[in-house]
Amino acid sequence: MKTIRFITLLVVALVMGAFDKPVQAGSKDTRFETLLVAAMAMGALDSTEQAKNMDARIESSARQSYVFKTYLQGDDIKIESKDGAVILTGTVAENFHKSLAQETVAGLPGVKNVDNRLVVKGAAPTANSDAWLREKVKITLLFHRSVRAGTTEVEVAGGIVTLRGEAASLAQKELTAEYAKDVEGVKGVHNEMSVAKIPQKERTVGEKIDDASITAQVKITLLSHQSTSAMNAKVETKRGEVTLSGKANNAAELSLATKLASDVHGVKSVTNRMSIK
C-alpha cells in the first residue's frame, strides 16, 4: 500500500510540475515541491520497511529450514540480518554444523553475505585421528537417503572403520560400506551390519525440503566424499531440481557427482552441466 501511495504522490507531483504555470517569472510552485518531497520521503520510508521485512523473512526462513529443524535443532544459533548481511552467533555441537548453517543461510533469497561467528562446543578432533575419521564417516552418510545414517553405528580404530546396525537390504548394506570407504584417511571397512529379515519399503518420494537446505546438503556431500572433494562445483537448486556447474577432473568424477547429488534428501532431479578440465 505504501508503494502505491508513493507512486500516486509522485505522479501527482510530476503532473502539477508539468501543467501548473508559475505565478510570475522566476517563482516556483511550492505545492509541486511539497508533493515531490513528500513522495521522496515516503519512498525512503517504504524502502526501509521493505528491507526490514526482507531481513525478517531471512531470519524466519533460516529457522524454518529443513537443515535447521533437522540437523541443527540442538544447537544454539542466533541469526541476525541487516540489509541482507547475515551474522551467525552462538554455539554448535559439531564442527561441520558451522559450515552447514552458513551454506543454508547463504542460499536463502535476499542474503548478500554471511559472517559466521559460530563457536563449536568442546575441542575439535585432531585431523586424521580416529575420532576425526568417525565424524567424517557419519557426515558422509548423513545426507544420503539410500542409507540409514541415523541407525548406523560407526566405530574407528587405527583408521579401520567398523559399521554396525541393520540395513533394509543387502544393497543398502554394501552401499553404506562404499560410502565409508570413500572418506579420506579410511584404511579399510569392516561391515558387520545385519540385513532385515523382512524387507522394508524404502521411501522413494523426496520430502518437501526447501531449496536452500538441499543446496547446502549437496555442497557438503560433494566435499565429504574423497572422490569429489577436489572438484570445483557450483550448486543451484530450484524447486528440488539441482543444477551442477563448474569443473570436474575427469568423466568418472563428473558422473559420480551426479549420482551422489541424486541421493541427497529432497533432490528431485540433477542436471550436471560441469565441464572436464
Instruction: Give the model confidence (pLDDT) of 217-270 as tens digits.
Output: 999 999 999 999 888 899 999 999 999 999 998 999 999 999 999 999 999 999
State the pTM of this model. 0.78
Grid cell 544420503 in the structure block, residue: 144
In a domain, 55, yes or no: yes
In a domain, 204, yes or no: no
Q: Are residues 53 and 70 in the same domain?
A: no
In a domain, 260, yes or no: yes
The grid coordinates listed for 135 are 565424524
What 3-state DSSP class applies to 256?
A: helix
The pLDDT value given to residue 232: 85
Give the percent of the chain with pLDDT over 70: 78
Looking at 97, 120, 143, the residue that finishes a domain is 120
- 211-224 helix and 251-262 helix, angle to the nearest 10 degrees: 140
What is the Cα–Cα distance from 20 to 241, expressed in whole angstroms?
56
Q: Are residues 232 and 257 in the same domain?
A: yes
Instruction: Give the model confidence (pLDDT) of 160-206 as tens digits.
Output: 999 999 999 999 999 999 999 999 899 999 999 999 886 665 554 44
CA angle 216, 108, 61 (to 5 degrees): 105
- Domain span at residue 57 reads 2-18+26-62
Q: 179, 107, 94, 90: which is closest to 143 by C-alpha? A: 179
Q: Are residues 83 and 49 in the same domain?
A: no
Q: Which helix (H) or strand (E) holds 35?
A: helix 30-64
Rg (CA), the chain: 27
What is the bridge-based pairing of β-strands 275-276 and 241-248? Answer: parallel
Number of domains in the chain: 4
What is the Cα–Cα distance from 67 to 5, expressed in whole angstroms?
40
What is the Cα–Cα distance from 265 to 221, expressed in whole angstroms?
11
Residue 228 per-residue DSSP state: T
Half-sphere exposure in the Cβ direction for 180 (13 Å, CA): 31
**Cβ neighbours around 249 below 10 Å, total:** 14
Could you tell me which residues are beta bridge partners of residue 116?
Answer: 88
- CA terminus-to-terminus distance, the chain: 52
In a domain, 200, yes or no: no
Instruction: Give the model confidence (pLDDT) of 98-109 as tens digits.
Output: 999 999 999 999
Q: Are residues 51 and 68 in the same domain?
A: no
